[in-house]
Amino acid sequence: MTQSNADPANKLLEIRDVNVTLSSRGKPALSVLDGVSLSVGKGEIVGVVGESGCGKSVLSLSVLGLLPAALRLSGGEIEYAGTHRLDRMSQDELRRFRGKEAAMIFQDPMSSLNPGLTIGPQLTEMIRLHLSSSRKEARERAAQLLHKVGLPRPESLLREYPHRLSGGMRQRVMIAMAMSCRPGLLIADEPTTALDVTTQAQIMTLMRGIRDEDGTSVLLISHDLGVIADMSDRIAVMYAGQIVEQGSARDIFDRPAHPYTIGLLSAIPSPSKKREKLFAIPGAVPALHERGQGCRFAPRCRAAEDRCYASAPPLVRVQGEHLARCFLVEEKGANAHEPVRTGAVS
Ligand SMILES: Nc1ncnc2c1ncn2[C@@H]1O[C@H](COP(=O)(O)OP(=O)(O)OP(=O)(O)O)[C@@H](O)[C@H]1O
C-alpha cells in the first residue's frame, strides 16, 4: 500500500524551506524553524522525531495554520495536493481546510474533549459539521466510527462522559473524531506518550490500519524513535529547528548517518540491552538564543571539529533520498560516524 514518494503525483503534503520565527517586543526575532523541507506521500506514514524543543510541534502547527500568536511563518511554502498553498490561505480558508482535508490528534485527548458533554454529541456534531448528515445518520456513523477504532459497545459509549473512559479509550475516541471528516492527512503529535506500552502499540496498530484501509497519510510526531520505528515509511530527524537526517525507515535504522540519529538509536531500550547501561546523549538541545553559527549539534558531538563550530553544514545526499546534515558525512559518506558503544552493567 505504501507508495514511492519520488513521484510528484504521489505527494500529498509538500513543505518547502519553511522558516518560523519567534518575536517578542523589544527583542530581536529568533529563528524557531530554519529551512525545513519535508513531504508526505499519499497513503504514506512519515515520522518526525527529535528531543523536546526541537520544533516538531511547531512544524505540525504551521502546516495547519495553528501557530500561536508569538510565532510566525516567515518563509517557505506549504502545498497540499499540489494545488492548495496553505501558507497563503486566510484564517477562514485554513479553518475549512482543517475541517475537510486534515485532522490532528494530540498527546492529551482531554484537551480536545469537552468534559461536560457525553461522547455522543461531541462526535455527532463533528460528523454533522463535515458531512451535513441528519441527526440519526450522524449517530449511526458515530457508532460505526467507534466500532472501527476498536471500542466495544459503541452505542452505550456514546452516552458516557470522557472522564469515565481510560486514556487509551479517550485517544481512540479522538481518532474516531479525527476520522469523521475522512481526512486525507492525519497529524498525530505524540499520540501515545501518555499511554502504557500495550495501549501504545494498539493505538499505533489502529493508525496503521486506518492508513491501510482509507489511504490516509499520517504525519507522526514523537520524541521516541522506538515508537515510530515500526510505523513509519520514512523518517525525518529534527534537531534545534532543522532536519538533520531524513530517509526511509530502513535508511534511518540500518544505515544512520548523522551522529544525533545514532545517539537517538542507541538510547532506545531493548531486551538485548538489558545488561547494558542505557545510553543518553550528553548535554541538551540548545535554547533558541543559544544556537551558534555552526552545526547546532556540535557541542554534543563526539566527532566535532573546529569547522563544525565555525560554519553550518549543508544537508547532503547520503544515497538516493537519504539525506544528512554533517560535514563528515559529506566527506566520508554514510559510515563517517561510528556506532555508540554502550557499556555493560557490572
Ligand atoms: N508559543 C510559543 N512561544 C514561544 N516559544 C515557543 C512557543 N511554542 C514553541 N516555542 C519554542 O519553539 C521551540 C520548538 O518547540 P516545539 O514545541 O515545536 O518542540 P517539540 O520538538 O515539539 O518539543 P515537545 O516534544 O516538548 O513539544 C522551543 O524552543 C519552544 O520553546
Nearest CA to ligand 1 atom 1: 68
The DSSP output letter for 87 is G
Distance in angstroms (rounded) separating the CA atoms of residues 9 and 5:
9
Amino acid occupying residue 106: F
> Which of these, 315, 182, 153, lies nearest to 238 by C-alpha position?
315
Count of residues making up the chain: 346
Is the Cβ–Cβ distance between 41 and 93 less than 8 Å?
A: no
**How many angstroms is it from 53 CA to the middle of ligand 1?**
5
Is the Cβ–Cβ distance between 40 and 185 less than 8 Å?
A: yes
Q: What pLDDT, on the 0 to 100 scale, is given for residue 276?
A: 65
Candidate of 58, 73, 104, 111 to mutate for ligand 1, largest count of ligand atoms within 8 Å of Cβ: 58
Is the Cβ–Cβ distance between 245 and 256 less than 8 Å?
A: yes
Nearest CA to ligand 1 atom 26: 52
ipTM for the whole complex? 0.96
**pTM assigned to the model:** 0.91
Q: What pLDDT, on the 0 to 100 scale, is given for residue 193?
A: 83
Is the Cβ–Cβ distance between 91 and 65 less than 8 Å?
A: yes
Distance in angstroms (rounded) separating the CA atoms of residues 329 and 111:
42
Distance in angstroms (rounded) separating the CA atoms of residues 221 and 228:
8
| Nine cell digits for residue 209 | 490500519
Q: What pLDDT, on the 0 to 100 scale, is given for residue 133?
A: 78
Q: What pLDDT, on the 0 to 100 scale, is given for residue 7?
A: 64
Q: What pLDDT, on the 0 to 100 scale, is given for residue 345?
A: 45
- Which residues' Cβ are closer than 6 Å to ligand 1? 22, 32, 50, 52-58, 68, 70-71, 223, 288
Q: What pLDDT, on the 0 to 100 scale, is given for residue 341?
A: 66
C-alpha angle 77/81/87, rounded to 5°? 25
Which parts of the chain register pLDDT below 50?
1-4, 344-346
Nearest CA to ligand 1 atom 9: 58
**How many angstroms is it from 56 CA to the middle of ligand 1?**
8
